[in-house]
Amino acid sequence: MKTFILLSIIFSIHVHPSSIDSLDSEHFIVGDSVKISILNNFLEEEVSIPLVAINRADRIIFPHLGEFDISNKTIGQFKFDLKKRVSQRLYLKDPNLLIDINKNILVSVVLQNRFLGDYKMKYKSSLGELLKAVDLITIKEMDPENIHLTRKYTKTIIDLQHNPYLTKTTLEHNDLIKINSRVENTQNYYYLVGNFNKVGRYYMDTKITLMDLLATQTLTQPRYTRKFYIFRKLKHETIIIEADARQLMKMGDLTQNISIQGGDVVLASVERKMHLLQKFRHILDQYTDMDDFIKKTEALRIFD
């Protein structure tokens, strides 16, 4: 009676048999699994080996075939050992093995100097697939022009802003991806201070006006907050642009609908007090760190 024997080897990504040889130089990692198929028409009985998962970095054990040392061995070397073992155990001179491999890789991700973790990805995963796995807050703050890929002893800077096709960059095991935050400059952010409920830095990804701010931001004293002052740094000075929210929203005076520019600091105030405005101007001229800037301006938060 002719016999067909199916044994299995599995990893976390399906690899077609035609591309298995590309894995020969790779190494197993914990979390991979193995599925072996033995095809032979001359055995007198059918042999079946269950699916085996790799839960140790140094060895893998198959029923009937025993233990295999995989520490510091490539998949190609493991396949050689496997073929030799099957030949000895089943008395086959040249066993016909089909090995179906699903393979994982680990990619480390760093945001600035903060380690985010090791991400388990499918073999041959792309940079774009990795970025989808990273949390959305990190991606929102990411500088797409300044992603560092470190592979062994080489470092590559990837600019996705001007070369979006680089999201298809194939990742390898033990790659290190460093994601940098957007560089804080006059084209990237605007800042809300004073009587806004949520003071802080906001990324400017579209054109925005004072009316847009009033529609999307809440105030600590909405009934009494009438004046808005926009601090705008020029080359040699900081100017203050005044806008009246009441004239804009209730009287429809569109001259008060000031366009916000990158780098602007928008102060929501109850009334104009020049000495406080000058303090803001001084803080704005002196600040180098946004957290410190917000901390100092919080002391001037309520203008009543």
- Give how many domains the chain has, as a whole number: 3
Of 156-160, 180-184, 263-267, the poorest mean pLDDT is in: 180-184
CB 49 within 8 A of CB 36: yes
Are residues 22 and 71 located together in one domain of the fold?
Answer: yes
Are residues 294 and 196 located together in one domain of the fold?
Answer: yes
Q: Is residue 4 part of a domain?
A: no
Are residues 267 and 170 located together in one domain of the fold?
Answer: no
Rounded to whole angstroms, how far apart are CA atoms 116 and 106?
13
Are residues 95 and 125 located together in one domain of the fold?
Answer: no
Residue 276: predicted pLDDT: 59
Domain boundary among 102, 117, 140: 102
Model confidence at 180, in pLDDT bands (50, 70, 90)?
confident
Domain boundary among 102, 123, 140: 102
Are residues 246 and 292 located together in one domain of the fold?
Answer: yes
Model confidence at 42, in pLDDT bands (50, 70, 90)?
low
Are residues 258 and 233 located together in one domain of the fold?
Answer: yes
Q: Is residue 303 part of a domain?
A: no
- Does the reported pTM lie above 0.85? no
Strongest mean pLDDT among 10-14, 30-34, 95-99, 273-277: 30-34
Domain boundary among 121, 153, 181: 181
User: Can you list the pairs that 120-123 forms with residues at least 24 positions away whose Cβ atoms lie under 8 Å?
Assistant: 120/12, 120/31, 121/171, 122/12, 122/13, 123/11, 123/12, 123/13, 123/15, 123/23, 123/26
CB 163 within 8 A of CB 236: no
Average pLDDT over residues 83-89: 86
Residue 194: predicted pLDDT: 76
> Mind listing the pLDDT tens digit for each residue in 87-109?
888 777 777 787 878 899 999 99
Q: Is residue 1 part of a domain?
A: no
Range of the domain at 158: 105-181
Bridge partners (DSSP) listed for residue 117: 109
Buried b (16+ CB within 10 A) or exposed e, 181-197: ebeeeeebbbbbbbbbe
Are residues 273 and 291 located together in one domain of the fold?
Answer: yes
CB 190 within 8 A of CB 267: no
Residue 294: predicted pLDDT: 55
Q: Is residue 131 part of a domain?
A: yes
Q: Is residue 3 part of a domain?
A: no
Are residues 212 and 256 located together in one domain of the fold?
Answer: yes
Q: Does pLDDT of 18 surpass 50? A: no
